[in-house]
Amino acid sequence: MLKDLFRKPKYVTVHADTVRKDIPEGLWQKCPTCNEILYSKELEKTMKTCGKCGYHFRMGARERINATIDEGSFSELDADLVSANPLGFADYPVKIAKSQEATKLKDAIVTGEAVIDGKPVVIGVMDAGFVMGSMGSVVGEKVTRAVEKAIAKGVPLIIFSASGGARMQEGIISLMQMAKTCGALAKLNEARLLYISVVTDPTTGGVTASFATMGDIIVAEPGALIGFTGQRVIEQTIRQKLPEGFQTSEFLLDHGFIDMVVPRMQMKNTLAALLDLHTNGGTDNV
Amino acid sequence: MSSQLLDFEKPLIELEAKIEELKKFSKEKGIDLADEIKTLQTKSETLKKNIYGNLTPWQRISIARHPERPGVIDYIKMLFEGFMEMHGDRYYGDDPAVVGGIARFNGQPVTVIGHVKGKNTKENLARNFGMPHPEGNRKALRLMEQAEKFGRPVFSFVDTPGAYCGIGAEERGQAQTIAASLTRMMTLRVPVIPTIIGEGGSGGALAIAVGDYILMLENAVYSISTPETFASILLKDSTKAQEVAGAMKMTARDLEGFGVIDEIIAEPLGGAHKNAPEMAKTLGKSLQKALNSVKKLPPEKMLEKRYEKFRGIGQLISG
Ligand SMILES: [Zn+2]
């Protein structure tokens, strides 16, 4: 089955301080599903997917943007926003600094205006390498501003999610970002503008329970982990092993929560086709 | 009046027992111990003020989780007339962790929704410890949309450790139902007045807590997760819950400081469970006042204010 092609080994929670598996180091790396040796040059051509089995490696925000938009069309929004420390945790700023160093990002999302296949959009791309891609004040604010920008410009919005959920270190403030981003999307709905949510590995918790599942169209990459509660917590709660393939893109497709599973190599074309069907917001032919 | 005591109350209870003993002894033996009793009573009053006036966050959590703490069903009985319960999400089932229906509040028809915890193990199992499945979130949203159609204000009562996590909950879209509620509640064209009455944990709590004016009982707590989950994720040790409870800034006063809630409602000394009727009376007054202030606004203005309330939350540094 096609599904089995994209099945990944059991998902392991990635912490910011463990080695990032999405950065190829050296000249080659091994595919974690089929053990194929993949050369960096080859991986570049296949957008970090395994040519043999279709496994999708994680991708950072910057390279994702480059792989998705028309060359040179990106103009970044709110690039300088960084989080304060609302709960006053001593090691939170340290954690942020480490992630900034490792990813060269200010926080877990990059947003901006761009053009895809000639069509203007506002795009946001999350990076799972930044404090697990968690949503605190910065992600919540940048997503909200991206929505507001899309409304102001009257263009479609595309958000690539990759997140461990709401950021624990900002406590209740992170939780409120879920309501804030959804509130902004409610305004986008009123403006009758297209929102395509692209869900990538991994997307869980507060991001799944807010903007990631609110797309007019929801697209997922093959084999991505998508869910509400992390698998370790579910297993501890119900005291049983989870079934194979639980919370994957294909599982969500089967259960009716996403529109399509699209391999990375076809993502740009798919987005372009969807945008084309919604030219002028899709409302001109009423 | 409460039978289940919390650890930190023990010195006070012991002292009160001693006073009773002295009184009894004095009466039986005919010895005048009035001075001694008076001294102890003064001591007891001071102790009471010291304990209940300086509750630690963890002690508040214990009060918020007290099995005898009044819940939504108690408030429905004490504050609303003629409650008629409505069931089901119209897709899959009826979630016993969420109660909802229509009643009169001071004569006006309103929709009431809340999480229900049990008061004992049997009830807790039946109510799933107040942790909603997707069906509970969908039922709540359905009843809110019904309220909107008929122009009824919505009162919601939050008391959940969080949305349930399990295989079925994931299969039936736990995350999506929360997101759908958050999005839809932001444009619901009737007043929505949420009150955090006990525990407010994670997206499960938030799914019925988007509204125009947010109330919170003095000893209630509200955060991104329970302290147990928080400790488990950040410290890899759920037994450190007591240690992180303060740092999580989850008390009513913390949240008022963050602008997350609009009003703190005072509880009877020692907590709502010490005097539920008094608690209900205080809460009822605040609910009516909140409703009056929201009702005054034209719908567009009400929705704009609701959005701005959440839009403004976040702590950022530019550059
Ligand atoms: Zn492979």
Q: What is the ipTM score, two decimals?
A: 0.95
∠ CA B113-B147-B197, nearest 5°, is 20
Q: Ligand 1 centroid to B125 CA: how many Å?
A: 45
**Cα B199 to middle of ligand 1, angstroms:** 46
Work out the angle at residue B317's Cα, subtended by the Cα atoms of residues A156 and A85, and round it to the nearest 5 degrees.
110
Strand partners, B98: B115
Alpha helix stretches (DSSP H) within A104-199? 137-153, 171-190
For residue B223, the distance in angstroms to the closest alpha carbon of chain A comes to 5
pLDDT in tens, B116-157: 999 999 999 999 999 999 999 999 999 999 999 999 999 999
pLDDT at position A21:
54
Do the chains contact at B315 and A173, CB–CB below 8 Å? Answer: yes
Secondary structure element (H or E) that encloses residue B181, with its range: helix B174-185
pLDDT of the residue at A12:
41
Per-residue confidence band for A162, with pLDDT thresholds at 50, 70 and 90:
very high
Alpha carbon distance, N-terminus to C-terminus of chain B: 56
B178 phi and psi, to 5 degrees? Answer: -65, -50
Identity of the amino acid at A31: C
Closest partner CB to A83 (pick from B169, B255, B316):
B316
- Contact assessment for residue A198 and residue A220, using Cβ atoms and an 8 Å cutoff: yes
Cβ neighbours for B297, distance < 8 A, ≥ 6 positions apart:
B305
d(CA B152, CA A281): 34
Rg (CA), chain B: 22
Reading the block at residue B141, the tokens are: 């949203």
pLDDT given at position A4 = 46
Residue range B38-67, pLDDT digits in tens: 999 999 999 999 999 999 999 999 999 999
Cβ pair B98, B140 in contact under 8 A: yes
CA distance B18 to B12: 10
Question: From the DSSP assignment, how many helices (H) and strands (E) are in chain A?
Answer: 10, 10
Q: Is B260 exposed, middle or buried, given 0-12, 13-18 or 19+ CB atoms closer than 10 A?
A: buried
* CA–CA distance, B170 with B308 (Å, rounded to integer): 31
Average pLDDT, stretch B255-281? 97
Q: Which helix (H) or strand (E) holds B13?
A: helix B10-29
At residue A23, does pLDDT exceed 70?
no
Please judge whether B307 and A183 are an interchain contact, meaning their C-beta atoms are less than 8 angstroms apart: yes
**Residue A37 CA, ligand 1 centroid: distance in Å:** 8
Each residue's pLDDT tens digit, A175-184 = 999 999 999 9
Q: Which of A41, A116, A43, A5 is nearest to A265 (CA)?
A: A43
| Record: contact A176-B314, CB cut-off 8 A | yes
Instruction: Please give the pLDDT value at position A5.
Output: 45
Token pair listed for B159: 């008391």
Task: Name every chain A residue with its beta carbon within 8 A of the beta carbon of B183.
Answer: 182-183, 185-186, 189, 214
Contacts B172 to A, Cβ<8 Å: 255
Q: Do residues B100 and B85 make contact, with C-beta atoms less than 8 angstroms apart?
A: yes
The alpha carbon of A169 is separated from its chain's Cα centroid by a whole number of angstroms, namely 20
Residues in A touching B186 (Cβ below 8 Å): 179, 182-183, 186
Q: Distances in Å between the alpha carbon of B182 and those of A59, A108, B115, B190?
A: 29, 22, 16, 15
What distance in angstroms lies between residue A32's CA and the mean position of ligand 1's atoms?
7
What pLDDT does A280 receive? 62
Tell me the CA distances in angstroms from B46 to B10, B12, B49, B50, B62, one per residue in order. 15, 10, 5, 6, 22
- Spatial separation of the C-alpha atoms in residues B23 and B33, rounded to whole Å: 8
Element (H, E) at B42: helix B34-53
- The rounded percent of chain B whose pLDDT value lies above 70 is 99
> Cβ A180–B248 below 8 Å, yes or no?
no
Please say whether the beta carbons of B98 and B134 come within 8 A.
no
Residues B75-93: tens digit of each pLDDT: 999 999 999 999 999 999 9
Asked whether the beta carbons of residue B166 and residue A238 sit closer than 8 angstroms, the reply is yes
The tens digit of pLDDT for each residue in A102-144 reads 999 999 999 999 999 999 999 999 999 999 999 999 999 999 9
Question: Is the pLDDT score of B286 beyond 70?
Answer: yes
A138 to chain B nearest CA, in Å? Answer: 7
| % of chain A beyond a pLDDT of 70 | 89
Q: Quote the pLDDT of residue A22.
A: 54
Residue B190 confidence (pLDDT) above 80: yes
* Region of residue B83 (left: phi > 0; alpha: psi -120 to 50; beta: else): beta
Tell me, yes or no, if A253 comes closer than 8 A to chain B by beta carbon. no
Q: B192-201 and B221-223: which strand pairing?
A: parallel
**How close A56 comes to chain B (CA, Å)?**
23
Distance CA A279, CA B168 (A): 39
Which chain A residues have a beta carbon less than 8 Å from that of B250?
Answer: 171-172
Omega of the bond prior to A202 within 30 degrees of 0, cis? yes
pLDDT score, position A6: 47
* CB B222 within 8 Å of CB B200: yes
Burial label for B78, CB within 10 Å (0-12, 13-18, 19+), is middle
Q: Which pLDDT score is estimated for B153?
A: 98
Taking Cα atoms as reference points, which of B176, B175, B230 lies closest to residue B199? B230
The helix-helix angle for B174-185 and B134-149 (nearest 10°) equals 20
Q: Which two tokens stand for residue A169?
A: 């270190």
Asked if the Cβ–Cβ distance from A182 to B182 is below 8 Å, we say: yes
Contact B250, B57 (CB under 8 A): yes
